[in-house]
Structure 1
Amino acid sequence: MRALRFHGARDLRVDDIAPPDRPGPGEVVLEPRWCGICGTDLHEFMAGPIFIPTSTDPFTGAKAPQILGHEFSAKVLATGDGVTSVQPGDRVAVQPLVAPPDDFYTRRGFGQLSSRLGLVGLNWPWGGFGQQALVREANVAKLPDQVTDEQGAMIEPAAVVVHAVDKGKVQAGSSVLITGAGPIGALAALAASAAGATRIIVSETNPLRRERIRELGVVDDVVDPQDQGTLQRIAGQTEAGQGVDVAIECVGHAAALDTCIRAVRRRGTIVQVGLSVEPGTVDISALVTKDITLEGSWCYPLTLWPRTISLVASGKLPVERILSDKVGLDEAVGRGFDVLTRPGSDKLKILVNAQA
């Protein structure tokens, strides 16, 4: 079979490798349909290995070269003994987190916080940028007919933002600021709208992405955080000019977090979703004197998958609106990774078909 594998920074290759063996008990062999290029994949491409193990992972057995891809839909090819939730021919969305069952956090329903966490497509032997993959039964969720394969490939990033919106306690009538108009920021806007937010403002420095996010149809205003008067403009759209109820930070940069601290009202909530590549400074005084709640948001609870699929199936979370392009496996680097890492790009989500 063919698979796109990470060998090193700026070194992704389509390799011919052996397909998975027959599935063991509780395992499922998949044929990936569509797989999204994630920001984490781009970090690995630009500066990895970061999460990809260079020596054998003691829990998952993975080691570079690593098949990438953790946002994907697939068709079930074969199932091992004891698998009951899916059967060959079923269409599924892959939930890529593999938490050790005996872990302190797994036993409490928060397996995503395990220090030994495995992630399909990063530190698990298989990934969505391959013609076949082997995962555990717990890593697949059957897709209803209303959800397309393309939408199924976006369930994973959608779950990330649904969790962030939950942590921010966004509700009917909330005002929300989102920093960053990339794929996660765009999905956060859609999720906040689905949760009932009535004022959604997006802060973004890239003019092309500012135009792109307006096309979603759920954003009330798009601002450039570098412009003078931006904070006043945001405040002017909120009750009594006090600031937004919730800010969701999707950039992973200290300046974006500072915008959130300044734009949120007293006793408001900031949810930090973006991962920073370097330490930043935080205005602790403003955080304290405004009595702000600052929440970290890492991945999602494993139980969030059915709810996210239901939101997409209902049409209330139209994830397909962020889709920019679809490419084949041999085009994944040139028309995918290279495009998404190009400064000033307006592209959001690019899907790769490993079968093409």
Structure 2
Amino acid sequence: MLEGATMQPVDDQAPIERDVVHLARVAMAGRSQDVQTLVQRMARRYQQTNAALAASLRDLLRSSPGQESPMRGFGNPAPIPLDGDSRLPLIRADQLGPAVPPVLAPHIKAQIEQLRDEHRSAERLAQSGLSPSRTGLFTGPPGVGKTLAARWLADELKCPLLVLDLSSVMSSYLGRTGSNIRQVLDYAKSSPSVLLLDELDTVAKRRDDASEVGELKRLVTVLLQEIDDWPSTSLLLAATNHGDLLDPAVWRRFDVVVEFPLPGPTELEEALLHYCGNEAPDSLGFLVKVLAGASFADAERLVMTARRRAALSDERLFDVLLRLGQDRLRHLNQGERLQIAIDLMQDGDLSQRRASELTGVSRDTIRRRQRESQEQ
């Protein structure tokens, strides 16, 4: 025995030996992304029984050259994976400018910020034998901020956002689709990144769905295995507009599930102010009511259409927004339209006649409501 060496108990030594053999096997196979994952797991595993070893492993992870190279174009030497049929890229990188913080309800914002904070403080978590959340599932209707939240997270973590549209990787040969997904996930795991699997329900449907062929059901199993093996150095996010279609096993695989609802009045008003920019009217109350039940995407589309039309016609943005909102007003009940008419007269400085024309509520009805309000 070497001088100064200490004999370790067999029950402690055996796990270390198994880990070393496993690590050597993976390293000799050239799977660098899996080596890093194994080292992370070992650092967590031995935090309590061998603190010195755990600290040494964390030091190695911090000094790893891959930590500073998020992807090709950012330092990743690996070729971008291509589809075997079309030879087109299977993945796209979002390299737009700084991301604008998405407008979210407070409880949704808190969940997104915790994901960010966990990855920013991975070393602090490691000291307690913990790791950041590796995976997150974003569900909700279209246009509610799922992709914007993913982009903001990537920007905050100083990582590229890699987007895989699962509907686009479905090969005519389903067996090749599994290979495509593995290629993309291996590429994303090779260095720190935020990977967004868009339209997850395209692939990860319920395996008890009788309409799906056996090969597609096996594809779900492949995806689940890949999610299980995802390293904590990167963040895997998945988005779906149809959470009810997902296989139940998929839900259990994600560390965090964030359900994005349609925006409420407060979130809509904040978003509208952002979309209108310096041209924002003094009051957007009428538009918030007109857009009740709409998504952020619907609101942005309406405002941008109004801004373009106002720029071409030299009209006030407020006047154009009134006209564009008129069609939506017609779908509201009379009580809601009456209240909007009153608000337009008070906050928008509109005449009684103009408020009546826009809302379809008679002037007599508006006058009667005004008298009732004054009497109260």
- Shared fold, TM over 0.5: no
Higher RCO by CA contacts (8 Å cutoff, separation 6 or greater): 1
Greater share of residues in strand: 1
Between Structure 1 and Structure 2, the one with more helix by share is 2
TM-score by length of 2: 0.21
TM-score, normalised via structure 1 length: 0.22
